[in-house]
Amino acid sequence: MSRPLRIGNASGFYGDRFSAVREMLDGGPLDVLTGDYLAELTMLILGRGKMRDPDAGYATTFLRQMEESLGLAADRGTKIVTNAGGLNPRGLAVKLRELAERLGIAVDVACVEGDDLLARADELGLADARYGRPLTANAYLGGWGIAECLRGGADVVVTGRVTDASLVAGPAAAHFGWARDDWDALAGATVAGHVLECGAQATGGNYAFFQEIYNVKAPGFPLAEVYADGSSVITKHEGTGGAVTVETVTAQLLYEIGAPDYAGPDVTTRFDTIELGRDGPDRVSISGVRGLPPPPSTKVCLNHLGGHRNEMTFVLTGLEIEAKAELVKARLEADLGDARPEKIEWTLIGRPAPDPATQGEATAVLRCAVLDSDPEKVGRAFSGAAVEMALAGYPGFTMTSPPGKGAPYGVYRAGFVPNEEIEHVAMLADGSRIPVPAVIAVPPGAEASRVQPPPREPLAGDASVTARVPLGRVAGARSGDKGGDANIGVWARGDAQWQWLEPFLTVERLRELMPETKAHTVTRHVLPNLRAVNFVIEGLLQEGVSASTRFDPQGKALGEWLRSRLVDVPEAVL
C-alpha cells in the first residue's frame, strides 16, 4: 500500500489523439489507463445516433483503439477504465467481449449502469416546459460502481455518464480499500482525476504561456501516482512532449469549475485546500485536499432537440468595413421578410490593419448565425438570400460558406434528482449485479472541517509607478463552459503578482475589461492556495454549445481575450 497506484489518461474527449492509448501503454508502467470520451455535446451526438440505431450510443473510436491495444494492456496487467459506453455501456461491453474472444485475449469486461434516466424523465420531473421530454437524461454517477467492478476482478470497466474524475477516484478507492466516508482521500483522488480528465491540457496543451513549453513534440498524456491518503503526484512518461509544472496543473485545476466547494456524487472537494508543489522535473505533488460529504441530489445531463440552425460568413476587405457590415445586415434582414428566423446574431470579427501589405491584413469577416424551430427558415430561404447578394452587395463581396440547409441543434440544461432515486449498478463479467447504495443525507456538522484562507499580504514596493501592459504579462488564464455558463480561471505567476491581482481583478473590473459580460450575473471565487480567482458568467454561452450562436460557443478563448486587455500594472510587480 506504500507504493502509489499509477493511473494514466489517454483521452480527454471523443476525437482526441487516437494513438494515445498505445503511447501510454508503451511509454511506461501503468496500473490503470483511463479514457474520458463524454461531454454534454457528446451525449447529444450519441443520442441522435441512437435514435437512428438502438444498438449504437457508445464511442466507436474506443472499440477500434482496443482492437489495436487490448492485448498489450492484458500483457502489461493494466486495467482499462473508460466512460466510452456513453448511452449504451452494456452494448459496448458486449462488443469488447466479442473482440477479446476473436483476438484470443483472456480479459473480464464489466460495465456500470444506472445513469440513464430517460425512461423515468416524466416521473422525475425532468421534462422542460418549452422543449418537452429530453432526448437524453443521464445522471452523473460516482466512482463506486467502478470500484465494485474492479473488486470483482474486471480487467476492463465500461461506464456511461460518470463524473470525469470518477475514472480516477473509483480505481483508487478499490485499490486502497477506502470507505464511503473517507472524504479527504476521495477528495484528493477527485482532484487528481480533474487534472487528468482533459488529457494533454495538464502537460502544456492549451497553456497560456505556451511558448515556454517545448512544443516540437505533441504533449504527452498525463498520469497520476495516487497514494493511500489520496495525495498524488502528476507526471508523464519520460521522453514525451510538453511539460508538467505547477502552472500547467493550476491551469487544468481552474478549468470548468465553479465555487471552491466542488460538489460530486462521491464527495464535495474543497478546491481551496489544494496544495501544489514541485516534486522534480515534470512532477507536481498534490496534497492537503479536504473533502466533505456530497450533496443530497445528483446532477443530471439533459439534452433536448431545440430546433434548427445555420450560418453564413461574409468576407469584408479594405475600406469602410463597418459600413459594409451594416449594408449586409440591413439587406439580408429585409430580404428575409416574413421568413426571418426567430434568432439572428451578427458578429464582426477582426479589423483591417492600416496600410495592409497583404489581402489578409486588409480583411475582416462578418458572421451571421440563425436559429429557428422551422428548418425551412434557416435552410435555403436564409442561405439563398445571402448568396443572392453576390452581385448586388458591397464592393469586394465574397463568402467563405456555401449555401446549405442547416442542421438540427440541441439544448443542454442541468437537472437534479435525489440521490436515492439513482439505481447505480455494477454489472460484473459473470452477469452478477452489485447495487451501489446512494448517500442519502449530509451528516450534521460536516461544515466543521472548513478552514479560513490566510490573510492577503500587502503589495511590496511602490505601487504608484505603473506600466500599461496586457494582463497576460503577469497572469495566466483558462476558460471553458458549463452548459450555458462560462468560467474564466485566472492565476498569478508569483506572490508579488498575486498580491496585486487579487484586489485588482474584481467583478466590476472584469465587466470593464469584458463588456460582453455586463448583461450577465458574474460570481467571483477566490482560491489563495492556487493564487487564483475564478469567475463564473451565467448564461454567456446561451443554451449550451450546440445552441449557442457565439463564434466561441464553448468559451475556450475567453481567457485569452481577457489576458490581451491592457491594464495598469505596478512596475514593481512586473
Beta pairing, strands 156-158 & 109-113? parallel
pLDDT at 2 over 80: no
Q: Could you tell me what percent of the chain has a pLDDT over 90?
A: 93
CA 119 to chain centre: 27
Shared domain check, 211 and 170: yes
* The three cell numbers locating residue 91: 452494448
Contact 36, 86 (CB under 8 A): no
Q: Per-residue pLDDT averaged across 337-349, rounded? A: 96
Q: How far is CA 211 from CA 302, 356, 478, in A?
A: 39, 27, 16
Shared domain check, 350 and 244: no
| Residue 124, domain member (yes or no) | no
* The three cell numbers locating residue 169: 477516484
**pLDDT per position as a tens digit, 505-526:** 999 999 999 999 999 999 999 9
**pLDDT per position as a tens digit, 32-41:** 999 999 998 8
Kindly report the pTM of this predicted structure: 0.95
* Last-in-domain residue among 378, 411, 444: 411
pLDDT, residue 454, reads 61
pLDDT, residue 440, reads 66
pLDDT, residue 105, reads 98
pLDDT at 339 over 80: yes
CATH of the domain at 371: 3.30.70
Q: Per-residue pLDDT averaged across 443-457, rounded? A: 55
pLDDT at 444 over 60: no
pLDDT at 178 over 50: yes
pLDDT, residue 462, reads 76
| Domain span including residue 204 | 5-119+136-292+422-436
pLDDT, residue 408, reads 94
| Residue 280, domain member (yes or no) | yes
Shared domain check, 233 and 378: no
Mean residue pLDDT across the chain: 95
**pLDDT per position as a tens digit, 414-427:** 999 999 999 999 99
Band (442; pLDDT cuts 50, 70, 90): low
Q: Per-residue pLDDT averaged across 68-85, rounded? A: 98
Q: Is the sign of the CA dihedral 82, 85, 90, 94 positive or negative? A: negative
Shared domain check, 259 and 318: no
Distance separating the N- and C-terminal Cα atoms of the chain:
46
Shared domain check, 257 and 155: yes
**pLDDT per position as a tens digit, 201-247:** 999 999 999 999 977 889 999 999 999 999 999 999 999 999 999 99
Shared domain check, 268 and 312: no
| Residue 127, domain member (yes or no) | no
Shared domain check, 398 and 355: yes
Domains identified in the chain, total number: 3
Backbone conformation region of residue 282, classed left if phi is above 0, alpha if psi is from -120 to 50, else beta: left
- Across 383-417, b (16+ Cβ under 10 Å) vs e yields bebbeebeeebbeebebeeebeebeebbbbbebeb
Shared domain check, 227 and 335: no
Shared domain check, 349 and 312: yes
pLDDT at 90 over 70: yes
Q: Per-residue pLDDT averaged across 112-129, rounded? A: 96
Contact 505, 497 (CB under 8 A): no
Shared domain check, 487 and 427: no
Q: Per-residue pLDDT averaged across 130-159, rounded? A: 97
pLDDT, residue 402, reads 84
Q: Per-residue pLDDT averaged across 423-434, rounded? A: 97
| Residue 513, domain member (yes or no) | yes
Q: Which amino acid is at 334?
A: A
pLDDT at 441 over 70: no
Band (139; pLDDT cuts 50, 70, 90): very high
Shared domain check, 377 and 263: no
3-state helix, strand, coil in the chain (%, to 5): 30, 25, 40
| Residue 448, domain member (yes or no) | no
Cβ contacts of 406 within 8 Å, gap of 6 or more: 308, 309, 310, 370, 375, 378, 379, 382, 383
Shared domain check, 109 and 52: yes
| Residue 21, domain member (yes or no) | yes
| Residue 442, domain member (yes or no) | no
| Residue 319, domain member (yes or no) | yes
